[in-house]
């Protein structure tokens, strides 16, 4: 019987954790290397699970399938803090909302127009419900750091090694092939290296002369102190997206990814939190606890970069925004491709080679 493949996963956010867990399930020998368990971008995520507007149909299909994969993951790990709470949106002009609803309804998304009375029933604590909105009951949210830690802990029980507080300085190359990584604690060798390091992926890839066209826009998210139940689901109002976390915090951004806070993040956070207070009945009692500014790893065409690179065998890229939505499907298919040496047809549009 052949020995299991040795695989290093760089990154311990939701994507790295999902890939590591799925690799362990397929019998690989996995080492996760990261500076921080739970990742860097993941703690700053709004964590909306959706297949929402603005995407071509092929990408919608992938996102929609990954929503179902979250339910599969929840069956395997029941403690994952996942909620299919539904989402309300009215953050586009009405004609654009109608076009979005018609298109996505035709694609099989469970999207329904709702009036003011229904909005008020779904979210009774909105101070000024809109006259018209869209509701998607199948959308949800997850607490992403907790989910990543649960995946990694289960991977550890299955034999994975977790090396945290370790800086990865670069990729090790032997001829054309990537054979490991150089770290603050010395070299580590493997049959495959998975690069799931978020905003740090481009610099690490460049250490092996691989260009990953990545942008890292900042996103401000405000977090209230925990309060009693105020929101039932996700709320996508104009210039304000908000939800309530499992521990009772109201979190919000100018959009789901957060917006650029400019030169004075504290002032921007205060202004954003004032909008949150004005949006909710009883919002004047909310207290701002802290804000985060995350840097979203976003490939330049907005689509994920997934898969092996012909220029550097042994390296597998997993660089994407919408990491929370896509984590369970990316983990499943990446593990399949790495362990079996096969190609998942669902990932064909997302190869790095499209940029050349």
At 38-89, the pLDDT tens digits run 888 888 899 999 999 888 999 999 999 999 999 999 999 999 999 999 999 9
Of 18, 9, 295, which is closest to residue 142 (Cα–Cα)?
18
Q: What is the pLDDT of residue 65?
A: 97
- 312-319 and 82-83 beta bridge pairing: unpaired
Instruction: Please indicate, yes or no, whether residues 101 and 171 belong to a single structural domain of this protein.
Output: no
Of 157, 167, 130, 150, which is closest to residue 36 (Cα–Cα)?
167
Instruction: Please indicate, yes or no, whether residues 221 and 290 belong to a single structural domain of this protein.
Output: yes
Q: What percent of the chain has pLDDT above 70?
A: 99
Question: Which residue's structure tokens are 């190869």?
Answer: 351
> For residue 98, what are the domain limits?
87-137+217-295
What are 324's two structure tokens?
Answer: 């929370």
66: Cα separation from own chain's centroid: 11
Average pLDDT on 13-22 reads 97
Any idea what the CATH number is for the domain that residue 246 is in? 3.30.9.10
Average pLDDT on 170-189 reads 96
Domains: count for the chain:
2
Any idea what the CATH number is for the domain that residue 20 is in? 3.50.50.60
Instruction: Please indicate, yes or no, whether residues 282 and 252 belong to a single structural domain of this protein.
Output: yes
Instruction: Please indicate, yes or no, whether residues 221 and 126 belong to a single structural domain of this protein.
Output: yes
> pLDDT-based confidence at 331, cuts 50/70/90?
very high
Asked if 13 and 171 touch (Cβ cutoff 8 Å), the reply is no
DSSP string, 196-237: --GGGHHHHHHTTT----EE--EEEEEEEPP-S---SSEEEE
At residue 246, what are phi and psi to the nearest 5 degrees?
-60, -30
Instruction: Please indicate, yes or no, whether residues 119 and 228 belong to a single structural domain of this protein.
Output: yes
Q: What is the pLDDT of residue 2?
A: 60
How far is residue 48's CA from residue 89's CA, in Å, rounded to a whole number?
13
Asked if 337 and 307 touch (Cβ cutoff 8 Å), the reply is yes
Residue 1 pLDDT > 60: no
160 inside domain? yes
Give the tens place of pLDDT for each residue, 216-266: 999 999 999 999 999 999 999 999 999 999 999 999 999 888 899 999 999
Asked if 320 and 297 touch (Cβ cutoff 8 Å), the reply is yes
Task: Write down which residue in 275, 295, 315 finishes a domain.
Answer: 295
Write down the pTM of the prediction: 0.96
Average pLDDT on 272-288 reads 97
Please calculate the CA angle 329-334-185 and round it to the nearest 5 degrees.
120
How far is residue 231's CA from residue 344's CA, in Å, rounded to a whole number?
39
Q: What is the pLDDT of residue 42?
A: 86
Task: Write down which residue in 272, 295, 318 finishes a domain.
Answer: 295
CA distances from residue 288 to 47, 123, 244, 261, 283 in whole angstroms, order as listed: 19, 21, 13, 16, 11
Rg over alpha carbons for the chain, rounded to the nearest Å, is 21
How far is residue 67's CA from residue 52's CA, in Å, rounded to a whole number?
11
What are 256's two structure tokens?
Answer: 């789901």
Give the tens place of pLDDT for each residue, 117-174: 999 999 999 999 999 999 999 999 999 999 999 999 999 999 999 999 899 999 999 9
Instruction: Please indicate, yes or no, whether residues 133 and 232 belong to a single structural domain of this protein.
Output: yes
Q: What percent of the chain has pLDDT above 90?
A: 90
How far is residue 106's CA from residue 145's CA, in Å, rounded to a whole number?
34
């Amino acid at each position: 019987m052949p020995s299991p493949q040795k695989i290093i996963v760089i990154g311990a956010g939701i994507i790295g954790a999902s890939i590591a867990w799925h690799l362990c399930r397929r019998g690989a020998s996995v080492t996760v290397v990261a500076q921080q368990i739970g990742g860097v971008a993941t703690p700053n995520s709004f964590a909306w699970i959706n297949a929402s507007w603005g995407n071509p149909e092929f990408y919608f299909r992938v996102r929609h399938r990954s929503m179902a994969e979250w339910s599969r993951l929840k069956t395997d790990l029941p403690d994952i803090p996942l909620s299919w709470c539904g989402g309300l949106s009215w953050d586009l002009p009405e004609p654009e909302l109608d076009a979005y609803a018609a298109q996505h309804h035709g694609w099989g998304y469970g999207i329904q127009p709702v009036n003011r009375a229904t909005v008020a029933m779904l979210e009774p604590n909105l101070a000024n419900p809109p006259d018209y909105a869209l509701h998607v009951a199948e959308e949800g949210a997850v607490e992403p750091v907790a989910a990543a830690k649960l995946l990694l802990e289960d991977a550890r029980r299955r034999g994975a090694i977790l090396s945290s507080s370790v800086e990865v300085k670069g990729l090790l190359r032997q001829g054309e092939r990537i054979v490991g990584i150089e770290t603050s604690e010395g070299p580590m060798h493997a049959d495959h290296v998975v690069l799931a390091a978020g905003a740090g992926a481009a610099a690490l890839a460049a250490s092996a002369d691989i260009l990953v066209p990545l942008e890292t826009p900042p996103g401000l998210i405000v977090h209230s102190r925990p309060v009693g139940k105020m929101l039932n689901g996700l709320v996508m109002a104009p210039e304000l997206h908000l939800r309530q976390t499992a521990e009772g915090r109201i979190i919000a951004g100018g959009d789901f990814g957060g917006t650029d806070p400019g030169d004075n993040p504290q002032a921007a956070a205060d202004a954003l939190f004032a909008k949150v207070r004005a949006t909710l009945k009883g919002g004047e009692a909310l207290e701002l606890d802290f804000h985060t500014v995350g840097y979203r790893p976003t490939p330049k065409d907005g689509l994920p970069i997934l898969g092996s690179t012909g220029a550097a065998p042994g390296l597998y890229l997993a660089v994407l925004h919408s990491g929370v939505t896509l984590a369970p499907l990316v983990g499943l298919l990446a593990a399949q491709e790495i362990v079996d040496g096969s190609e998942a047809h669902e990932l064909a549009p997302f190869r790095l080679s499209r940029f050349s």
